[in-house]
Amino acid sequence: MVSQMKATIDIAEPLLARATQVAATEGVTLRELVEDGLRQVLEEREWHAPFRLRRATFRGQGLQRDAAVAAWQRLRELSYEGRGE
């Protein structure tokens, strides 16, 4: 069984009037309509959660001496060394 809590919220009159009308038309209570809407919004926000990379580190000895001071072109050549051509 799901526990229930009471909460008081302020809703703008025009929005409350529309919600009450929709609830009556659909034959549901205002509470059911609000809960459904809240569930939908929460699911959408969870689905669109920002992507985060996991923290990844490695222990090494840094760049080789010639790579530490090399120009970008030389670093590129080193990275592709032994692959193809």
Residue 50, token pair as written in the block? 């920002």
> Model confidence at 54, in pLDDT bands (50, 70, 90)?
confident
Q: What is the pLDDT of residue 49?
A: 65
3-class secondary structure for 64-82? Answer: CHHHHCCCHHHHHHHHHCC
The residue ranking higher by pLDDT, 49 or 15, is 15
Least confident of 17-21, 27-31, 42-46, 59-63: 59-63
pLDDT at 43 over 70: yes
